[in-house]
Amino acid sequence: MDLDAAHAWFTDLQDRIVTALEALDGRPFRADAWQRPEAGGGLTRLIEEGSLFERGGVNFSRVRGERLPPSASAARPQLAGRSYDAMGVSLVLHPRNPYVPTVHMNVRLLVAHRDGEPPVWWFGGGMDLTPYYAFEDDARHFHRTCKRALEPFGDGLHARLKKWCDEYFFLRHRNEPRGIGGIFFDDFAERDFEFSFAMTRSVGEHFLAAYVPIVERCQTTPYGERERRFQAFRRGRYVEFNLVWDRGTLFGLQSGGRTESILMSLPPVVRWQYDWKPEPGTPEDRLTTYFLKPRDWT
């Protein structure tokens, strides 16, 4: 288990993704390094009010602590009380154009230590798409790319991680999905470290191939105030999920991560309206009544 090699891969992935996104937007990402005394640090790469991205962040962090936060040991209570070393890359992109979907991706490694016992490690991550308007070709492309990322690692893995994503990115208090899913995994420690790390790397390496073609197709689509209002309304659901249900947000806050870097995942313009529903038969209605339903897009 080479943690230095893992650290190097995560930081290189961050750099390559930011370079590609800067080429798409035409404006540079801000670099904001941060440090917590005796607890690690990270590098936040952020863009706000870009040509394409209203807000976007691609963050690397490596944080250490003397005791696992409750969010990290909830699924493994026997590890409670261990010290830990956690690192990873997390990104969220909120484009300005409502026809370009919001996207989330993260890949991470956590190692728990206790004196006199071998370390316990696991990986987590995935990627998922949150469109505001329904384009089936985009959905198929995104899900097929996710499937290609997992094909070298065994039959049935994509189906399992897709189902996990559909179940995880779900607003239980509203009984509705956040978006159209993708793949998701956590507490992943199958076969050995190299196998699990290779699978995690493949997920990270396939992100640009999954998302960039969708951006290139949709970024010049004309839109008006109607589309922006619906985008802001649906972004409200995104905020609700991240603040109520997301384990990553909770872990970041509980582990002493940088609050600004953690909450960069929230969109800059959001709208709530009491019991609002789209008019039947409209593109907005099609998203919520037809498109946001788990299915096999591949």
Q: Mind telling me the catalytic residues?
A: 104
Which residues face 55 on adjacent strands?
48, 94
Task: Fill in the amino acid letter for 247.
Answer: R
Query: Which residues in 244-264 are b (16+ Cβ under 10 Å) and which e?
Result: ebbebbbbbeebebbeebbeb
Which residues face 169 on adjacent strands?
none
Give the C-alpha separation, 128 to 118, whole Å: 34
**Cβ neighbours, 10 Å, residue 164:** 17
**What are the angstrom distances between the C-alpha of 57 and each of 18, 25, 146, 213, 229?**
9, 13, 21, 19, 23
Residue with tokens 């490690």: 121
**Cβ neighbours, 10 Å, residue 112:** 22
Residue with tokens 């309206």: 273
CA dihedral defined by 163, 164, 169, 170, rounded to 10 degrees? 70
Give the C-alpha separation, 187 to 185, whole Å: 7
**Strand extents, DSSP E, 164-249:** 170-171, 176-177, 181-188
Give the pair of three-digit tokens for residue 230: 């619906």
DSSP H or E run through 131: none
